Amino acid sequence: MFKAFRNLNLGIKIGGGFTLLLIIAAVMAFMGYSGLNNVDHDATIAMDAVGFAETALEMRQNEKDFMLREEQIYIDNINSLAEKMNEQAEETKALMNEQGDKDRVTQMQTLAGE
């Protein structure tokens, strides 16, 4: 094998090395692009989780306001926030790949419906 390599012209050796470097660069670019897509996907799910926390806090605030003032508007707000949370949860579940994560979102939906 080394004898065959030694007998090649210098131009072919340089061209082969350059081609090898281009192939390595293409593989690295594909891996980087794929990794960034995974990060973007995970960031989208994380942003949805932050939205769930904010909605839960709003629901809790409306619950406290209802206990203090006993006005129907606070119950209506809680119900609309629960519906909003369930709709967002369905969208988030569609993005998820792992069944365990989907089960946790379903559990959250059940708790929000109570």
Beta-carbon-side half-sphere exposure of residue 108 (alpha carbons within 13 Å):
24
pTM over 0.85: no
pLDDT tens digits for range 18-49? 999 999 999 999 999 999 988 888 888 888 88
Long-range contacts, stretch 55-62, CB < 8 angstroms, 24+ apart: 55/81, 55/84, 55/85, 55/88, 56/85, 56/112, 59/85, 59/112
pLDDT tens digits for range 59-88? 899 999 999 988 999 999 989 998 888 888
DSSP assignments along 4-21, one per residue: HHHTS-HHHHHHHHHHHH
Question: What pLDDT, on a 0 to 100 scale, did the predictor assign at position 89?
Answer: 85
Count of other CB atoms within 10 angstroms of residue 65: 15
User: Please, is 85 exposed, middle or buried when counting C-beta atoms within 10 Å of its C-beta (0-12, 13-18, 19+)?
Assistant: buried
